[in-house]
A and B are shown apart, each in its own frame.
Chain A
C-alpha cells in the first residue's frame, strides 16, 4: 500500500490541465488585476468566472475575441447591486470540440458614474443587450452606435429604470393589479 501513494501523486502532477484551466491561466497572465476562478457544478461541468474592473472590461473582451475569433457572445445580464451596477456577460469559446469553454465576465460600476465601454464593435450582437441595459437599469455604454430604447414603450417616463431597486425604480403607484373579487367587494363597501 505504501507505493500506491506516490503513483497517485504522479498522476495528479501529470494530469493534463483542462481547457478551462489553460484559459484561466492565460487570462490571469494578461490581466493580473482580474479575479479568475474555475467553478464546477454537480454534473462536472466547468465554468470560468472572471471579475474585472471597468478599465479591463473592453481589453478582456478583445482578448477573448483574438483567442477564438468565433467566440459566441450568449447574453449580458444587468444587475443592481445596491451601491453599484453590475454587468455579467456569458461567452462560449473554443466550442469546435465539445464541450466548449463557458465563461462569465462580471464588471461593476458605481451608481454615480454608470458608464461602461461599448463592445459592439467586437461582438456586434452585444448592442442589443447594451440597449436593454441602458433602458432597464440606466447603465450607459460609451460610444454605442444606437442608443434607442429596445423594449420599453415610448410613453414610459425617461428617469425611471424598471430593474433598479432604489428610488429610480418602479414606484408603488405604477404597479397595477386587476384585483381579486374578495378585495374589490371589500373596497366598495
Chain B
C-alpha cells in the first residue's frame, strides 16, 4: 500500500487560483515602510563631516577634500542604512527604489555626485568666490 499524504492537498489546490505576482505585467509586491532601497544623496545638505566614510562597511563613499563632499558608488552598497543613521544633516536618505539592474557596473544610475557634477560644483564655487571678491571691492 503506497501512502500519498499530499494527494488530498494537491487535489484541493488544483481548484484554486495561482497565488503568484506576474511581475512585468503587474506592479511588484509593494515594499514595506522603512524599506532600505537605493540611497539618495542631497549634495547641497552635505557638510563633509566624513561620518559616512567612517561608518560604511562596503567602501561606497570617497571623500573629496577640495569640495568637502563625498562621491558614492552604489555598486558596492549593502543597504545597511548606517550612513543614513549617522548623517548629522540628513543629506543621505533611503528610497523605495529596488529595481537597480544595469548593464554597466559603473552606470550613472549607481553613482551620486559624479566627476562632471564635481567639476560643475567647483566652477560654481569659483564663481561664488569671484562674486564675493567683487562685492568686497565695490
Footprint of B on A, CB under 8 Å?
180-185
Contact = CB atoms under 8 A, between A and B. Distances in A.
Contacts of A181: 73, 75, 106, 111
B60 to A, nearest CB: 8
A185 B114 CA distance: 10
Contacts of A182: 62, 71, 73, 114-115
Contacts of A184: 106
Contacts, number: 16
B37 interface: no
- Chain B, interface residues (CB within 8 Å), range: 10 to 19
16 contacts: A180-B59, A180-B62, A180-B73, A180-B76, A181-B73, A181-B75, A181-B106, A181-B111, A182-B62, A182-B71, A182-B73, A182-B114, A182-B115, A183-B62, A184-B106, A185-B115
Residues of B contacting A: mostly: mixed
Interface of B: 59, 62, 71, 73, 75-76, 106, 111, 114-115
A127 to B, nearest CB: 34
Nearest to B61: A180
Nearest to A184: B106
A182 B114 CA distance: 7
A114 to B, nearest CB: 33
A184 B59 CA distance: 14
B39 to A, nearest CB: 15
Contacts of B106: 181, 184
A137 to B, nearest CB: 25
Given A181-B111, A182-B115, 4 more contacts: A180-B59, A180-B62, A181-B73, A184-B106
A135 to B, nearest CB: 27
Contacts of A183: 62
Nearest to B105: A181
A65 to B, nearest CB: 41
Residue in A180, A182, A183, A185 with the greatest tally of chain B CB atoms within 10 Å: A182
A72 B115 CA distance: 57
Contacts of B111: 181
Contacts of B75: 181
